Each structure stands twice: as C-alpha cells, then as structure tokens.
Amino acid sequence: WSYFILTSYDEFQNLFGRKADKNRKLYNGRIQCYYYEYFGELPPRK
C-alpha cells in the first residue's frame, strides 16, 4: 500500500517513524501544510 498524507503538523515524519519518499510544502490560505508521499511496493508485472 502507498500512503499520501496532508497535514499541518511539521513533525509528522518523526511521529510516523519513517522518512517520506517525497514531500511538498503547501499553503491552505495562510496555513502552512505538508504533503507526504510514502510509496508501497509495485504490483508484479504479468
């Protein structure tokens, strides 16, 4: 499974216990948010 998390909590990676594969800083109005991407395994090719 892959996980995609949108949060304003800047210490989320420490709380989750794993560094994100990709992350982006976003703004919701004036609120700074973070978009974290955790990729799972790719499905096998047939």
pLDDT in tens, 9-38: 989 999 999 999 999 999 989 999 999 999
At residue 34, the 3 state secondary structure works out as strand
Query: Which pTM does this prediction carry?
Result: 0.81
CA angle 35/40/44 to nearest 5° reads 145
Rg (CA), the chain: 13
Report the distance separating Cα 38 and Cα 10, nearest Å. 16
Mean pLDDT of 1-16: 94
How far from the centroid of its chain's Cα atoms is residue 31's Cα? 17
